[in-house]
Amino acid sequence: MLLPSPPPAFLAPGPPGLLEVLLPEPQGKHRRANQLHMQWEAELAQAEELLEQQLELYQALLDGQEGAWEAQALVLKIQKLKEQMRRHRESLGDA
């Protein structure tokens, strides 16, 4: 037995979930599934954006760390050269 369609006044916007109550079961479920799917897609897009930002941050940190390692290597190299120059001067003074 088919139920008569509800009058248009019953389909007016109302509190969340009211439309699902007023619509026949399959339409309400389908509409709710679409809403959930759209919400899920929006949350997924937001999560992807956050991951991209996090990746950029970690890349910048890694670049900074590599720069720090290079600077440390240069400091050690300069210290070694200074020590070699000091020894060379001492050896010239002894001669």
**What's CA 15's distance to the chain center, in Å?**
34
Is the predicted pLDDT of residue 16 greater than 60, yes or no?
no
With 60 as the cut, is the pLDDT of residue 20 above it?
no
pLDDT interval class at 94 (50, 70, 90):
confident
User: How many C-alpha atoms does 58 have within 13 Å on its Cβ side?
Assistant: 6
Give the span between the Cα atoms of 86 and 78, in whole angstroms.
12
Give yes or no for residue 24 having a pLDDT over 70.
Answer: no
The string of pLDDT tens digits covering residues 27-69 is 677 888 889 999 999 999 999 999 999 999 999 999 999 999 9
What is the reported pTM?
0.47
Q: Say if CB 8 and CB 20 are below 8 A apart.
A: no
